[in-house]
Chain A
Amino acid sequence: VLRDTLEMTGTKFGCGMAQCGACTVHLNGDAIRSCITPVARAAGQEIKTIEALSEDAIGKRLQKAWIEEDVPQCGYCQSGQLMAAAVLLKEKPNPTDNDIDLGMSGNICRCGTYQRVRKAIHRAAAMK
């Protein structure tokens, strides 16, 4: 629905079974896996995709940090990484490495950008 019907192609389709995190979007502020979420669950709820990430301060800081750390390689997982990171910073404004591990371990990156993702999250947290 997001990509083909609404033409919001920032959200990526990866595994299709909630394993990789590439399709992560926000449902009422929580980072859900859109690939297996029935449309009925989203009806009447607030859905936020990567296209709207920069609408709030956390999203802006994350985008800036992502650019400064030059995080993406192929980029396919990055919209999911950013949407997951936004929830992490909302709930834990100053995350430790352990918090980042706990919050981001469901977002797989086949290029292995994990260290840069970690640095960018710390950078975004420090921007306030």
Chain B
Amino acid sequence: MKKTVYVVLVLGFVTAVAAPLNSSDKIIEPTIQAIAVNTKIISPIVDKEKTQADKIREKESADAFKEAYKVLMHPRCMNCHPSGDAPLQGDDSHIHTQNVTRGKDGKGVYAMKCSNCHQKENTAGLNMPPGNPNWHLPPANMKMVFQGKTPAQLAAQFKDRKLTGKTLQEMLHHVEEDKLVLGGWDPGEGRTKPPLSHAEFAAKFREWIEKGAVIPK
């Protein structure tokens, strides 16, 4: 008797559970779940392999940026990428004497334009004005601020074309070829050079981009 009751109860339970599967919309669920299960079975292996490779590459990219960041935040680079509208001067990055200001095109205003003092080449002598034919700050509509930025903030800024006006490849070209950038390694008497050579810096910047332009933590 007891066995009969148990059998009936079990059959009733199974029927009750199975009943919803008779409706057409519910039939799909097990199928999707089955796919999901199958995917779960396969994907962890693939993801694990991909993630490990990606993680190494991402770390290398982020590490490369952190190295390049040492140069980007050095006064020879950062002094022309200030948070305000006045360029900075010296290894202590003080505000440029004479209260020079950026102007719309980054080349100063009125009687206070960059080229009024900065010649095509460095002026000889201790702490005399460094030179370049195109001496300027970034323009007012694209200030490209470095000062005060963390590595993550600066990397994110480089990747935002709205803020830079450049693709990463164009940015790389700026880093590798622009004579204003190169001028950081020929700063004139009385100024220190960045901690990496230009070749090392450009290589790190290139590595950062080619390995995914990862924003460092």
Q: Give chain B residues whose Cβ lies under 8 Å from the Cβ of A31.
A: 110-113, 116
Q: Is there contact, CB below 8 Å, between A30 and B115?
A: yes
Q: Given that A17-B125, A18-B129, A36-B129 are contacting pairs, would A87 and B119 also be in contact in the complex, using a CB cutoff of 8 Å?
A: no
Q: Does A107 contact B (CB under 8 A)?
A: yes
- Which residues 95-125 in A have Cβ within 8 Å of B in the complex? 99, 101-107
Q: Give chain A residues whose Cβ lies under 8 Å from the Cβ of B117.
A: 18, 32-33, 36
How many A-B pairs fall under 8 Å by CB? 71
Q: Give chain A residues whose Cβ lies under 8 Å from the Cβ of B101.
A: 102
- Name the residue in B110, B112, B123 with the highest tally of chain A Cβ atoms < 10 Å from its Cβ: B110
Q: Does B128 contact A (CB under 8 A)?
A: yes
Distance to closest chain A CB from B16 (angstroms): 83
> Could you list 27 A-B pairs, sorted by A, with CB under 8 Å?
A17-B127, A18-B116, A18-B128, A21-B98, A24-B116, A30-B113, A30-B115, A31-B111, A31-B113, A32-B115, A33-B117, A36-B119, A36-B123, A36-B128, A36-B129, A37-B119, A38-B119, A84-B110, A85-B111, A88-B110, A91-B109, A102-B109, A103-B110, A103-B111, A103-B112, A105-B98, A106-B116
